[in-house]
Amino acid sequence: MAIPDTLASPAPAPVLPRGRLLPWRGTLRRILLPLVTAALVLGLWEALVRLRGISPALLPSPSAVAERLVATGPFLLGQAVPTTLETVAGFLIALVLGTGLAVLVSASRLAREALYPNVVFFQLIPKIALAPLFIVWLGIGTGSRLTFAVFIAFFPVVIATLAGLDGVDRDLLRLCRSVGAGAWRTYLHVRFPAAIPHVFAGAKIAITFAMIGVIVGEFITAQAGLGYMILFAASQADMALIFASIALLCGIGLGLYALTALAERVALRWYGG
Amino acid sequence: MSDPAPPRAEPAIRVSGVAKTYPSRSGPVEAVAGVSFTVAEGEFVSILGPSGCGKSTLMLMVAGLEAPSRGSLALAGRPVEGPQTRVGLMFQDATLLPWKSVRDNVLFPLRMSGRPMAGATERAGALLALAGLSGFADKRPRELSGGMRQRVALCRALIADPAILLMDEPFSALDAITRDEMVLALGEIVARERKTTLFITHAIREAVFLSDRILVMGRRPATVVAEVAVPFPRPRDPAIEADPAFNALCLDLKDAIHRAMRGPAAAAA
Ligand SMILES: Nc1ncnc2c1ncn2[C@@H]1O[C@H](COP(=O)(O)OP(=O)(O)OP(=O)(O)O)[C@@H](O)[C@H]1O
Ligand SMILES: [Mg+2]
C-alpha cells in the first residue's frame, strides 16, 4: 500500500513573524509607541479646537501654544531661571539635610523614637497647605520659596535613605562588629554605600517635589518665575501664555528628572548590585 | 622540632552552661538552655539540630556578638566579653559588598579592622587561588555564581588568619553539586590551615564528612542531646562515603536526631 502523499513529511513552512506589521526592535517600540500616542492626542486636541471653533480664551490649540512659546521664548526663559535655580538649590539642600537626618535616625535610638514618627506624620499630611505659613514667617523673597521647596522635598529623601540604611544585612553588620569596626567606620564603608540606590530612589521623588514647592511658592509670593507667569497670564485670561509657561515648566521638570536619573545610573554602575 | 609548644591546658572554645533568652512581644523566648561543650585546638566540630533550635544564637554567643543570659564562654582560656576579633565568620549568604571587587571583599575584614597586615594583597591572592578563583580577583560579586560567592566569603573569613572559624550553614543555599564541591574544598583548606572550626549544618553526611566530632541539639531551647565522634583522619577523600562505617555513623546520627525531635525527654531516655 502506497503511503498517501499527505502523510509524507511536508517541507517546513517558512517561519514568518506573526502579529507584527513592522519588525520593531524592542527599544524603538518602547520609545515610539508613547510618542505616537502623545502626538495623536495633540492632533485630536488641535482638530477639536479648529473644527469646533473653540475660543482661544478657553482652550488654545497646540499650534497656537507653540507659536506663543516661540514668540515669548526669551522672556519666558528669563522667568525660568529663578524657578530652575530655586528648584535645584532646594533639591540639593533637601538631599543633604534628608540624608543627614536619616543617618542620625538610623544611628541613635533616641533620635529614631523622637523624630521618626514625626517625619512619617509630615510625610503623610498635605504639606502644600502649610505654604502660606512660610510666607508669613520668611517674607516673599527667595528665602521662603527655597525653604518651602526644601520642606517638601526633604521627607521622601529621609524615608528612602533610612530604608536603605536599615536594610543592610544583619549578618554583614555582625561581620563588621566582629572585626572590631566601630559605628563610624561601618557607616562609611558599609551602611552608607549600601543605601545609595535608596538615596537615588528618594532623590528622584525629591527633584519633582522641589519644583512643586517652588511653583507653589511663586503662586503665593507673586514676584517672578514661571509659577508667577502662569498666575499673571491667568489674570489676563491669556490662555496661550499659560500653556506656553506650563510647557516650558514640563520641559525643565523633565530635564531635571533626567539629570537625576542619569546620576543614578552612574551611581548604580559603580554600586554594581 | 626542638622546641615543641607546651600543651595548652585550655581548649580553643569552651562553652559552659550557656543559656540565652530573647525578649519578644509574646514574652521571653528561650533559644538556648544550658549548653556546655568544648572544642580542642585544630578540631572540627559540627552542630546538627532542627531548624529554629538555637544554633545560630549559640554561634553568635561564641563570636561575642550576643551576650549569654546565663553561663560563660571562653576562647583559648580568655573569657568572651564583646565581639571576638580572632574568629572568622561565614553565614548562609555570602553577604559580599556588591560595589567592591572580589579582592577587596576578601580584604574587607582587614580594612574594616584598621589593622594593616603586611602582604595582605598577596595573601588574598593566595587564598583566592586556593579556592579556585585565581582569575576572578577583579570581578564584582554580581559576575560570580552562588558557589563562587560563597568561596569568596570563605577567603574573607580566612584573610585575617583567625584562630577559629565559625560557620553557620554556609552551604545550605547552594545546589547539591556545588555543595559537594564546597564541602570538599572546605575540608582541604581547613585541614591545611589547621583551623579550629565550629560548623553548623542541617546535613548529616556533610557533618560526618567534615567533622572530628558532631553535637546533636534537641528542639528549642537548645541543649546538646547527643555527641558522636568521627574516627576517620582528616582531610578525607570522597571515597570514604562508600565506607560502611561512614554510613553506619550517618544512620546513628539520623536516629539521634529523630529522638531529639521527639523532645529532650525522649532523647535522654
Ligand atoms: N534577635 C532575636 N530576637 C528574638 N528572638 C530571636 C532572635 N534571634 C533568634 N531568635 C529566636 O530564637 C530561636 C532560635 O533561633 P536561631 O536563629 O538561633 O535558630 P537556628 O537553630 O539557627 O535555626 P535555623 O536552623 O533555622 O537557622 C528562634 O525561635 C528565634 O525566633
Ligand atoms: Mg540559624
Q: Which ligand is nearest to the CA of B51?
A: 1
The single-letter DSSP state of residue B51 is: T
Q: What is the pLDDT of residue B176?
A: 87
Quote the ipTM score. 0.89
The answer to whether position A123 is within a domain reads yes
Cross-strand partners of B123: none
Does any domain span residue A18? no
- Structural domain that includes position A190: 60-270
Is the Cβ of B84 closer than 8 Å to some Cβ of chain A? yes
Supply the DSSP symbol for A187: I
Residue A216 lies in a domain: yes
Domain extents in chain B: 9-86+166-269, 89-161
Question: What is the DSSP-derived secondary structure letter of residue A152?
Answer: H
Backbone dihedral region for residue B17 (phi beyond 0: left; psi -120 to 50: alpha; all else: beta):
left
**How does pLDDT run along chain A (273 residues), one tens digit per residue?**
444 444 444 445 445 555 555 556 677 888 888 999 999 999 999 999 888 888 888 888 999 899 999 999 899 999 999 999 999 999 999 999 999 999 999 988 898 999 999 988 988 889 888 888 888 898 888 889 999 999 999 999 999 999 999 999 999 999 999 998 888 899 989 999 999 999 999 999 999 999 999 999 999 887 889 999 999 998 988 888 999 999 999 999 999 999 999 999 988 888 876
pTM over 0.90: no
Q: pLDDT at residue B77 above 50?
A: yes
Query: With a 6 A CB cut-off, is B57 part of the ligand 1 pocket?
Result: yes
Angstrom distance (rounded) from CA B174 to CA A247:
54
Q: Of B170, B172, B212, which is closest to residue B194 (Cα–Cα)?
A: B212
Mark yes or no for CB contact B93/A177 under 8 Å: no
- What three-state secondary structure class fits B76? coil
Number of folded domains that form chain A = 1
Cβ contact, residue pair A171, B91, below 8 Å: yes
In a domain, A250, yes or no: yes
Q: Is residue A31 part of a domain?
A: no
Q: Pull the grid cell for residue A74.
A: 526669551
Q: Does B160 touch chain A (CB under 8 A)?
A: yes
Which CATH architecture describes the domain B9-86+166-269? 3-Layer(aba) Sandwich (3.40)
Q: Is residue A28 part of a domain?
A: no
- For residues A108 and A192, give the distance between their C-alpha atoms in angstroms, rounded to a whole number: 15
For residue A213, what is the domain's CATH number?
A: 1.10.3720.10
Instruction: Find all residues with CB under 8 Å of A102, minimum gap 6, and list them.
Output: A157, A158, A159, A161, A162, A165, A195
- For ligand 1, atom 8, the nearest C-alpha belongs to B57
B47 Cα to the center of ligand 1, angstroms: 15
- Is A152 among the domain residues? yes
d(CA A164, CA A192): 8
Grid cell for residue B166: 565559625
